[in-house]
Amino acid sequence: MSLSAEILLRLEMQDLQDRYMAAIDNDKLEDWPSFFVEDCLYEIIPKENADAGLPIPLVYCDNAAMLRDRVISLRHANIYAQPYYRHFLSGLSCRMVGDDRVEMSASYLVINTTPAGESQVYQAGRYEDVVVKTDKGWRFKSKRAIYDTSRVQTLLAYPI
Amino acid sequence: MNHIAISTRPAARDEAHFPNQDGSRVPYTVFNSPAIYAREQERIFQGPVWSFLGLECEIPNPGDFKSTFIGDTPVVVTRVEDGSLAAWVNRCAHRGAAVCRVARGNAMAHTCVYHQWNYTAAGDLQGVPFRRGRNDMTGMPKDFDPAKHSLRKLRVESYRGLLFATFSNEVEPLPDYLGPEMTRWIDRIFHKPIVYLGCTRQYANGNWKLYFENTKDPYHASLLHLFHTTFNILRVNMEARTDCDKNGLHGVLLSIKKEDSNADDYTKEKIRSYQEGFRLEDSSFLAMVKEYEELATNHIQTIFPQLIIQQIHNTLAARQLLPKGPDHFELVFHFFGYADDTPELRALRIKQANLAGPAGYISMEDAEAIELVQQGIIGDGASAASVLEMSRSAPDQRNSLISESLVRRFWVGYQKLMGFESASEIASSL
């Protein structure tokens, strides 16, 4: 890959992650499933399980319908204090695998602000993502949020 | 100046006053008093109870260990050379440093990093550097006896793969502590070998007993957890089965699925939760494979003080409840499956972790509700009390989900263990 192609790919991946995080951080949950292909995997899993090869996740969706269901449930069924997330991303690395597939990893930090106005580190971890090229642009084929902050404060409602 | 006369009362701060004998009023002070919390450490966690530490399948091989807690006290549970179990307080017999510094691992010996005192897996002191001195330095006195400086060992027992330990020499053997009312239901779930699937952890700003009473309270289920009703999963006319042990401390509740349920009970009561129209696009993860004689959507069983056994659909977990000061607790969901699971059933169990856990569709609200209680009771602990009246006039009813009976029975058992007299007992003794 030429240097300019690498830089372009990196910019495109950064852009995808930025738009993904902005949708969640700005409470556009209904947009969240559209970052994925229909046949996708989305998972939030504690690092201690991932490292030990144990499968239990915090959230596990193996198609986009389950993502849309989670949004509907969060909007209409579940009761929780409205979270105010801010995502921060660093250490992004990505590589092209074939013509239309990218493997990407990055560290993330989510600061949550409670309704009382307290901002706290809610979750630190890393994304392990697979992104594919579709006719609508880049979409997540899989996104795994592998979190270090093993003790989830109170509950997890919104996606990471 | 008489300082003694001025300071006679503070000892009473670890007292709680239960106005009714049947546990139907609970003074809020039990949820936020540091003095009562300290008394719980002594009378409950260091006292005549068996505390749940984990599943045997977490430490299958000799040398496998995990760090955990009994109340506030850090403990390590491990499998020793001959395959038997041992547990000890994670505190070096020398200067008190934590000996084991990792959550899990495998080791046949444990060494404190501070001065390298070395212990066997069973907790016996087997090495003290410079014990006999060196050159002109004298070392430990001649009468220093390593046998007298082992780690503090606990009694350990397991029941069908559930691991428990106790500080008490008096408490009855584990099966008797659990009681026949509880073991028959534990046997329902733990009737064949299990495998560990991992854990998730939740940390809540609430007193540990608020979680314990939450899991004995079927009344809240269809009212707080609206996922059920929004998507048509549980109905109020499901049949229930509830029971508790002779002390009221342990309890069990099952929701048995009845085929002829309908929405009338909700719409009649105009409960806010019922909404026609919401349907899951993919409800496949709510499938239920029949695994037991009786088809229960939920089997929730509390074993005082640190365990809640969960079967929700096909998701199985042993929830470990760890107090972290008067107003915090940690909850560890230890998920498991059966060794003979088909790949499809195993996949379903994993997917159903979406239902129950820190992000679970039908469990996330519990921590929210508990934190609201903790916030609401600040500053009014001693004079105000919770009101537990639901089904109080039918104390022997065992088949209703609309009941606070198990919660009341729990508080009666708790009072006894803590040595709190209720007002009527005091009155009758006068």
Contacts of A150 in chain B (CB under 8 A): 201
- Quick one: B180 and B274 in the same domain? yes
Does B273 reside within a domain? Answer: yes
B227 vs A73: CB contact, 8 Å cut-off? yes
Per-residue pLDDT at B267 exceeds 70:
no
CB contact under 8 A, B103 and A54: no
Here the CATH number for the domain that contains residue B131 is 2.102.10.10
CA B288 – CA B268 distance, rounded (Å): 29
Q: Are residues B280 and B359 in the same domain?
A: yes
Domain-ending residue, one of B158, B189, B206: B158
Which residues on chain A are in Cβ contact (under 8 Å) with B227?
73, 77-78
Torsional sign, CA B203, B207, B213, B218:
negative
DSSP A147: E
How many domains does chain B contain in total? 2
Mark whether B181 and B150 lie in a shared domain.
no
| Total number of residues shown for chain B | 430
**What digits encode the pLDDT tens for the residues B70-122?**
999 999 999 999 999 999 999 999 999 999 999 999 999 999 999 999 999 99
Q: DSSP state, B58?
A: G
A52 and B231: CB-CB below 8 Å?
no
Task: For residues A18-41, give the mean pLDDT.
Answer: 98
Mutate to test the interface with B, among A45, A68, A78, A149 (most CBs of B within 10 A): A78
Which range of residues forms the domain containing residue B137?
Answer: 51-158
ipTM confidence = 0.96
Within 8 A of B285 by CB-CB distance, chain A residues are: 66
Hey, are the CB atoms on B199 and A78 less than 8 Å from each other?
Answer: no
- Distance from chain centroid for Cα A51: 19
Predicted confidence at residue B261, as pLDDT, reads 45
Position B20 in a domain: no
Q: Please indicate whether, in this complex, the C-beta atoms of B230 and A153 are within 8 angstroms of each other.
A: no
- Chain A hits for B205, Cβ within 8 Å: 154
Q: Are residues B237 and B116 both part of a single domain?
A: no
Q: Quick check: B328 pLDDT over 70?
A: yes
Residue B427: pLDDT band with limits 50, 70, 90: low
Mutation to test the B interface, candidates A149, A152, A158, most B Cβ within 10 Å = A152
Q: What is the Cα Rg of chain A in Å?
A: 16
- Looking at the fold, whether B199 and B110 belong to one and the same domain comes out as no
Question: Of A97-101, B38-42, B354-358, B398-402, which gets the smallest average pLDDT?
Answer: B398-402
Q: Could you tell me if B243 and B398 are in contact, meaning their C-beta atoms sit under 8 angstroms apart?
A: yes
Does A73 contact B224 at a Cβ distance shorter than 8 Å? no
The pLDDT-based confidence of A104 (bands split at 50, 70, 90) is: very high
For residues B199 and A56, the answer to whether their CB atoms sit within 8 Å is yes
Q: Tokens for B197, please give them.
A: 């699937």
Which among B203, B365, B369 is the nearest to A153, CB-wise?
A: B203
Residue B9 lies in a domain: no
What pLDDT band is residue B386 in, cutting at 50, 70 and 90?
Answer: very high
- Checking DSSP bridges between strand B194-204 and strand A151-153, what pairing results, if any? parallel
pTM (2 d.p.): 0.93
Task: Give the per-residue pLDDT at A132.
Answer: 98
Greatest Cα pair distance, chain B, in angstroms, is 90
- Partners of residue B104 in chain A, C-beta under 8 Å: 52
Lowest mean pLDDT among A93-102, B175-184, B366-375, B391-400: B391-400
Same domain, B269 and B364: yes
In this prediction, residue B237 carries a pLDDT of 60
Question: Which structure tokens are listed for B340?
Answer: 């003979």
Average pLDDT over residues B180-201: 98
For residues B314 and B290, what is the distance between their CA atoms, to the nearest angstrom?
A: 8
Quote the pLDDT of residue B8: 42
Of B130, B158, B186, the residue at which a domain comes to its end is B158
Whether B166 is covered by a domain: the verdict is: no
**pLDDT band per the 50, 70, 90 thresholds, residue B381:** low
Residue B266 predicted with pLDDT over 60: no
Asked whether the beta carbons of B260 and B249 are under 8 A apart, the reply is no
Token pair of B317 as six digits: 């977990």
Cα-to-chain-centroid distance, residue A16: 11
The predicted pLDDT at position A21 comes to: 98
| Cβ separation A78–B285 shorter than 8 A | no
- Ordered by where they begin, the domains of chain A are 3-147 (3.10.450.50)
Question: Which one of B194, B273, B282 makes the best mutation probe of the A interface by having the most chain A beta carbons within 10 Å?
Answer: B282
Say if the Cβ atoms of A155 and B354 lie within 8 Å. Answer: no
Q: Name the average pLDDT for chain B.
A: 90
pLDDT of residue B9: 43
- Residue B430 in any domain: the answer is no
Supply the pLDDT for residue B256: 87
What DSSP element (H or E) covers B372? helix B364-376
User: Two tokens at B19?
Assistant: 């106005």
Q: Exposure string (b/e) for A3-19, b if CB count within 10 Å is 16 or more?
A: eeeeeebeebbeebbee
Confirm whether B348 is domain-assigned. Answer: yes
- Give the pLDDT confidence of A126-150 residue by residue, as tens digits: 999 999 999 999 999 999 999 999 9
**Minimal CA–CA distance to B27: which of B384, B320, B335?**
B384
User: Would the pLDDT of B145 be above 60?
Assistant: yes
- Tell me which long-range contacts B122-129 makes (C-beta under 8 A, separation of at least 24): B122/B80, B122/B86, B122/B88, B122/B153, B123/B86, B123/B88, B123/B150, B123/B151, B123/B152, B123/B153, B124/B150, B124/B151, B125/B93, B125/B149, B125/B150, B125/B151, B128/B94
Domain boundary among B125, B158, B191: B158
| A79 to B354: CB separation less than 8 angstroms, yes or no | no
pLDDT (mean) for B349-362: 95
Which of the two residues, B263 and B45, has the higher pLDDT score?
B45
Where do the H-state alpha helices sit in B238-324?
Answer: 264-269
pLDDT for res B279: 86
pLDDT tier for residue B236 given thresholds of 50, 70 and 90? low
